[in-house]
Amino acid sequence: MSFAPLLRLVSMLLVALALSPSGAFAQLATGSAQVVTERVRAELLAHAPEGVAPGKPVWLGLQLAHQPEWHTYWKNSGDSGLPTTLEWTLPPGVVAGDIAWPVPKKIPIGNLANYGYEGTVLLPVPLTITPEFRPPLLGGNLDVKLKAQWLVCKKECIPEEGEFALKLPVQGSTGLHGANFQAAFDAQPQALPTSGSARVEGQTLKLEVPGLPAAARGQSLEAFPETPGVIETAAAWRQGWRGETWTAEIPLATHLGATPAQLPVVLASGDKAWRVDLPVAGTWPAASAAAAVSPGLEQALRANAAAAAVPAGGANLSLWAALLGALVGGLILNLMPCVFPVLAVKLVGFTRHGLDRRARRVGGLAYAAGVVLSFLALGALMLALRAAGEQLGWGFQLQSPWVVAGLAALFTLIGLNLAGVFEFGALLPSRVSSFQLRHPVADAFLSGMLAVAIASPCTAPFMGASLGFAVAMPPAQALLVFAALGLGMALPYLLASWVPATARLLPRPGAWMDTFRKLMAFPMFATVAWLVWVLGRQSGVDGAGALLALLVALSLVTWTLTLAGRTRVVLASLGLAAFGLLAWVAAPQLASPAPDAPALAADGRWEPWSAERVATLVAQDRPVFVDFTAAWCVTCQYNKQTTLANREVLADFEARRVSLLRADWTRRDPAITQALSDLGRSGVPVYVLYAKGRAPVVLSEILSTNELRAALAAL
């Protein structure tokens, strides 16, 4: 009995899951009041203690809870960084004010200093409800939408953003977060009733501020100018008291970015702060270009910017070259380890046809159609999601733990069927179990879909540049590239099914086929082991253990269904109940992020990738080799265990002081996706060698020792 009914029932569900944006790519930042990243938990809060009406106090606020050692920035970020920005969408008659910035702290970073926030901070914004506001007739809510952008930094800086939605009741009060807002109000500087003065003398800014409260007198104060690019933020400066007047002498910025006539300054002592507007006397030195963003940070931001430049290595490709590269890449894809299990399944079916020429030809056409149409569907979905703002690349479906778990279940059942544990005739109604006999064309078509679901994470030689070029092309031309890729992958099987000489190479059907079928079960189980390992990299050891337990329970249920009589009823019922209970308990572990993902390299030579880390090392005249990889990429693992573990290659890395960085794309990472796009690539593996004063060198997907050593020798 064939496994075709299983392909029909399971692979269609699996492909639907892989192609479902809501199933595989649901974003925390859409339609939610909270966004959680690895560095920040951002939440939109509201405070309307007297309801929503003209003249009533109504506040919104973005609360940022930082992981230890990470920080975001104040309105003047200091020597580097960018302030958080908020873009509101509100009903007519509702106006959002400016952020009421709490007092920041000075954050030293090397010989620089920034102004920002660590721990948890709330950025409150007042809403003005004008008489033009008309509450909705139904629902009685004020709909608030916010798009926020913030830069979060430790040693590296990562631009992040989120979209938030909130329904604020018009009637009644909203005061759940009153304590949060009160703490933010208390942290804001108070306006001083008196003014002071600021004078520019050479390269020094002299401040005099009278009228500070008695509690501040005699104390050392922190000074935060609201205008960026005026003072040398990290430089030592002098301050003192002349009676009740506070005085200070602060060095002007080396690269003066502003020459204001009025300088607002926040003065802080402990948890108290005051704001004063100082008129500036004297003559400013000639202003130079503002240096609010450091060169390294500027490069990191460019690398992570949403609008990428023309892909490197793709600009010189024509459409015809991209089509040819996709066709050849599809051909080579059949040799990738991730495709072998599906080809093994097809070999079993191929031997069944024997000398039936018509069955082989029809099956070959149907298989090719399934492959090409599946590539077109995946390509169209990827292009549509990228056009909608998603950062996706080739192989994106295996970035979803649910798709990985679904594939593991599918290949477990296929392996059990090939090994002879069960036959579909004993499990399913005769109409379903005889599906292949009645619909061989649909059986072959579904096999093509399954082949694409497994093969798509791989990137073969010639594929990378073509796919990277395709995502920047008009949709119609891009889909032609995906179709050529599918045609290349289906071509060997299509030719084999139509060339009569192929049939003469096949042994005649006989008892050997049963042995061959059982032998083919082991590539299926090897694929399951790989998929469990992939899920472990995504969801940690608990996720991998949960998947293993579910697969064992699934195997048990499958075996009980092969029994007969009352034994089948009792054991199958118990098995299904146990499987359901286990799924309810263990399934949440499948998609939970790994708490402490292990480093991709165990030898300590590699460090995590970031765009700013690359920029910093290159600026220090250190060559950088970046391995863009993923746990679900079999080609990546092959290269890692061969070329990248080669002693001669490692010796060359050490001799030339090459820094080794690894960009792990096992789970979705928009920064890595954008970096790949900037390099003209859309999937992994990608290997890049950076050196000061040189363009990045992108190496082959199947990385050879000779190629890598030659590239290193050219440094």
Residue type, 656: R
Query: Over the chain, what is the mean pLDDT?
Result: 75
Q: Minimum mean pLDDT among 172-181, 211-220, 297-306, 436-445: which range?
A: 297-306
Predicted local distance difference test score (pLDDT) of residue 294: 47
Measured CA to CA, the distance from residue 305 to residue 6 in angstroms comes to: 44
Stretch (H or E) spanning 36: strand 34-36
- Give the 3-state DSSP-derived string for 497-530, with helices as H, strands as E and coil as C: HHCHHHHHHCCCCCCHHHHHHHHCHHHHHHHHHH
pTM (2 decimals)? 0.42
Instruction: Say whether pLDDT at 105 is over 60.
Output: yes
Residue type, 655: A
> Which of the listed CATH numbers 2.40.50.100, 2.60.40.1250, 3.40.50.2000, 3.90.1150.10 matches domain 34-188?
2.60.40.1250
Percent share of the chain, pLDDT over 70: 71
Place of tokens 């590699």: 606
**Domains in the chain: boundaries:** 4-25+315-591, 34-188, 191-282, 606-713
Q: What is the mean pLDDT of residues 630-649?
A: 81
**Residue 234 burial class via C-beta count within 10 angstroms: exposed 0-12, middle 13-18, buried 19 and up:** middle
Q: Hey, what CATH class is 606-713 in? A: alpha beta
**Residue 267 burial class via C-beta count within 10 angstroms: exposed 0-12, middle 13-18, buried 19 and up:** buried
Question: The sheet that has 141-153: what strands, in order across it?
Answer: 85-89, 141-153, 157-169
Predicted local distance difference test score (pLDDT) of residue 382: 62
Q: Minimum mean pLDDT among 37-51, 108-122, 402-416: which range?
A: 402-416
Confidence of residue 526 (pLDDT cuts 50, 70, 90): confident
What's the CATH fold of domain 191-282?
Immunoglobulin-like (2.60.40)
The Cα-based distances of 245 to 199, 213, 264, 277 in angstroms read 15, 11, 17, 15
Predicted local distance difference test score (pLDDT) of residue 597: 43
- 253-265 residue pLDDT tens: 877 777 888 889 9
Q: Which residues pair with 95 in a beta bridge?
A: 128
The token pair that represents 294 in the structure block: 């450091």
Predicted local distance difference test score (pLDDT) of residue 473: 60
Measured CA to CA, the distance from residue 251 to residue 539 in angstroms comes to: 51
Query: For residues 435 and 5, is the Cβ–Cβ distance under 8 A?
Result: yes
Predicted local distance difference test score (pLDDT) of residue 344: 57
Predicted local distance difference test score (pLDDT) of residue 439: 58
Q: What is the mean pLDDT of residues 166-194?
A: 83
Give the start-end residues of each E strand in 90-234.
94-96, 105-109, 112-117, 120-129, 141-153, 157-169, 190-191, 197-201, 204-209, 222-225
The token pair that represents 368 in the structure block: 């090719």
Q: Greatest CA separation found in the chain? A: 107
Q: What is the mean pLDDT of residues 384-389?
A: 54
Tell me if domain 34-188 and domain 191-282 are identical in fold. yes
The token pair that represents 305 in the structure block: 């910017």
Instruction: Say whether pLDDT at 591 is over 70.
Output: no
In sequence order, what are the residues at sequence separation of 6 or more whose Cβ sits closer than 8 angstroms to the Cβ of residue 329? 459, 460, 461, 462, 463, 464, 466, 485, 488
Please give the DSSP secondary-structure letter assigned to residue 189.
Answer: P
Measured CA to CA, the distance from residue 326 to residue 491 in angstroms comes to: 12
Confidence of residue 700 (pLDDT cuts 50, 70, 90): confident
Predicted local distance difference test score (pLDDT) of residue 313: 39
Least Cα distance to 38 among 618, 664, 661, 612 occurs for: 664
